């Protein structure tokens, strides 16, 4: 037991290096996903048939490809050496999450009763004013749990990017194990670190949710 | 007295379904017109066409001297037409007071201070001054609808449209909403009210319009309509609801 934890202490700095990269890629990836997701969502609620179909096609394709294939195909097949590894990794993760993001945004907006739009428009507010002041503030609140969920999923998905040799947490663990063969210990350390980070994020999201709540009596 | 609303040969279809067929009617300044009829007769649709919540397929609507077909700025056009919905549609993310001040301030009709003063005055009129800072979720149905009426009035509209304002309310709350509407009518507001409240129509309306199958079947004073309906369809409808 003591040996287990002292080994944890020994490798912790290396693993935290990996965690740092995991976080950087996850955050950059999610930011890319938010931007792309907003664009795709706007297309899919535009009501224009061509744009809606384009958005649906994008979502179908991205959701249909395993992240591993997306990563290998884009990195080795398309990007090659055109971009730095970290940029490529963030882009791949962002692309993968963008389809889910778009669906979260769309579902959030469409969950708001259409009467809200009609009431605001009948007062003379424009579509954009209504979106900004009435629909989006309510929709964002609904979206938060799903957004947080997606962030957690993407954070864990960074592990798959070890396939393109990104030196994130999982890759760090693999590298260490390649030298000392302690697969049980090292992978369990990595797992513990993932659990701690993700639990912290979950607690944070609950706090945010509570603060935004306006329907408490 | 000029016509505030003039509808000529209005047609409206939903896909294959013809909801409004050749509707023509007028509303004069200060007049209260109640629209009655069985569900599916097109009365709510007619009301929603007046501020273009529904697109129309033929005919012309003129409100406050503006032909709807020639309106460039639909938002400006809607500012003068208050609307009250069956489902209240208050903004749950704003307090009662903010529900009333949001549009006037945002559309630069009033300064923040003026809008708040006006909102407080209107809340007093609908008897909800003490609710100014609560969120809509804490209100009863009747209170919500009174706030919704005050919200529409906060824009200083020249005409008010009511789309079955009491249909979603528990019976004991219908009275408080109708009382507010009665007060409004007595002050001379021009009102078009789609309703199932025959008592209200009889007492408050200057004119009652009976609709069925997308047509205006009959149109007369409440006394005449309720005592002496001319058409069989109207007589049957009134018999079934009274």
ipTM of the complex: 0.93
Quick check: B51 and A113 CB within 8 A? no
Looking at residue B160, the DSSP 8-state letter turns out to be E
Judge whether A7 lies within some domain.
no
Model pTM above 0.90: no
Is A134 at the interface with chain B, CB within 8 A? yes
Q: What is the pLDDT of residues A69-102, one digit of tens each?
A: 999 999 999 998 899 999 999 999 999 999 999 9
Looking at residue A217, its pLDDT comes to 42
Judge whether A1 lies within some domain.
no
Task: Please give the average per-residue pLDDT across B229-234, as a whole number.
Answer: 91
pLDDT above 60 for A216: no
Q: What is the pLDDT of residues B97-151, one digit of tens each?
A: 999 999 999 998 899 999 999 999 999 999 999 999 999 999 999 999 999 999 9
Using CA atoms, how far apart are residues A164 and A153, in angstroms rounded to an integer?
19
Quick check: A122 and B137 CB within 8 A? no
Judge whether A4 lies within some domain.
no
Judge whether A33 lies within some domain.
yes
Task: Please give the average per-residue pLDDT across A2-22, as a whole number.
Answer: 94
Judge whether A181 lies within some domain.
yes
Using CA atoms, how far apart are residues A53 and A44, in angstroms rounded to an integer?
8
Report chain B's mean pLDDT, rounded to a whole number: 94
Q: What is the pLDDT of residues A195-214, one digit of tens each?
A: 999 999 999 888 888 887 76
The torsion angles phi and psi of B210, rounded to 5 degrees, stand at -105, 125
Distance from CA of A20 to the nearest CA of B (A): 38
Contacts of B93 in chain A (CB under 8 A): 134, 137-138, 141, 214
Q: Is A154 helix (H, G, I), strand (E, B) or coil?
A: helix
Report chain A's mean pLDDT, rounded to a whole number: 93
Looking at residue A25, its pLDDT comes to 96
Task: Please give the average per-residue pLDDT across A159-163, as a whole number.
Answer: 94
pLDDT above 80 for B58: yes
| Residues B27 and B194: beta-carbon distance below 8 Å | no
Quick check: B53 and A118 CB within 8 A? yes
Quick check: A122 and B135 CB within 8 A? no
Distance from CA of A132 to the nearest CA of B (A): 12
Contacts of A125 in chain B (CB under 8 A): 75, 103, 106-107
| Residues B209 and B25: beta-carbon distance below 8 Å | yes
Judge whether A71 lies within some domain.
yes
Judge whether A2 lies within some domain.
no
- A-proximal residues of B, 43-102, CB under 8 Å: 51, 53, 75-76, 78-79, 81-83, 85, 87, 89-93, 102
CA B94 to chain centre: 23
Q: What percent of chain B has pLDDT over 90?
A: 90
pLDDT above 80 for B1: no
Q: What CATH code is carried by the domain that includes residue A110? A: 1.10.3720.10
State how far the alpha carbon of B97 is from the alpha carbons of A34, A59, B15, B115, in Å: 34, 42, 40, 9
Q: How many domains does chain A have?
A: 1
- B-proximal residues of A, 78-107, CB under 8 Å: none
Judge whether A3 lies within some domain.
no
Residue A37: give the domain boundaries: 13-215
Chain A residue with the nearest C-alpha to that of B152: A123
State how far the alpha carbon of B56 is from the alpha carbons of A123, A141, B19, B195, B216, in Å: 20, 35, 10, 22, 17
As given in the structure block, the two tokens for residue A34 are 């938010």
């Amino acid at each position: 037991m003591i040996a287990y934890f002292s080994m944890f202490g020994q490798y912790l700095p290396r693993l935290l290096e990996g965690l740092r990269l995991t976080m950087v890629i996850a955050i950059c990836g999610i930011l890319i996903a938010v931007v792309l997701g907003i664009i795709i969502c706007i297309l899919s609620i535009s009501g224009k048939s061509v744009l809606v179909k384009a958005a649906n096609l994008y979502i179908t394709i991205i959701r249909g490809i395993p992240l591993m294939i997306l990563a290998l195909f884009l990195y080795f097949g398309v990007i090659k050496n055109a971009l730095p590894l970290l940029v490529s990794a963030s882009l791949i993760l962002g692309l993968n999450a963008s389809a889910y993001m778009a669906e979260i945004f769309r579902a959030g907006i469409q969950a708001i009763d259409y009467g809200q739009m009609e009431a605001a428009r009948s007062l003379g507010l424009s579509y954009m004013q209504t979106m900004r002041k009435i629909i989006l503030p309510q929709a964002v609140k609904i979206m938060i749990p799903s957004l947080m969920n997606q962030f957690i999923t993407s954070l864990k998905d960074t592990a798959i990017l070890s396939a393109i040799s990104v030196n994130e947490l999982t890759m760090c663990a693999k590298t260490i194990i390649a030298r000392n063969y302690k697969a049980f210990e090292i992978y369990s350390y990595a797992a513990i670190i993932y659990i701690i980070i993700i639990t912290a994020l979950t607690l944070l999201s609950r706090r945010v949710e509570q603060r935004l709540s306006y329907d408490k009596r | 007295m000029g016509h505030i609303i003039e509808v000529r040969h209005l047609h409206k279809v939903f896909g294959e379904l013809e909801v409004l067929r050749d509707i023509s009617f007028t509303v004069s300044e200060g007049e209260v017109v109640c629209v009655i009829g069985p569900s599916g007769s097109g009365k709510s649709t007619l009301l929603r066409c007046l501020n273009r919540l529904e697109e129309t397929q033929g005919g012309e609507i003129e409100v406050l001297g503006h032909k709807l077909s020639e309106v460039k700025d639909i938002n400006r056009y809607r500012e003068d037409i208050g609307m009250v919905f069956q489902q209240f549609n208050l903004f749950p993310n704003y307090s009662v007071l903010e529900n009333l001040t949001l549009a006037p301030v945002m559309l630069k009709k009033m300064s923040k201070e003026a809008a708040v003063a006006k909102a407080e005055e209107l809340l007093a009129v609908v008897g909800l001054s003490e609710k100014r800072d609560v969120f809509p979720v804490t209100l009863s149905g009747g209170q919500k609808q009174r706030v919704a009426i005050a919200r529409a009035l906060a824009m200083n509209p020249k005409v008010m449209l009511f789309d079955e304002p009491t249909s979603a309310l528990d019976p004991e709350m219908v009275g408080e909403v109708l009382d507010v509407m009665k007060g409004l009518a007595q002050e001379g507001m021009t009102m078009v009210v789609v309703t199932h409240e025959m008592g209200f129509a009889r007492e408050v309306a200057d004119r009652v319009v009976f609709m069925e199958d997308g047509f205006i079947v009959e149109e007369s004073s409440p006394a005449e309509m309720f005592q002496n309906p001319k058409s069989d369809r109207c007589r049957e409808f009134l018999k079934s609801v009274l």
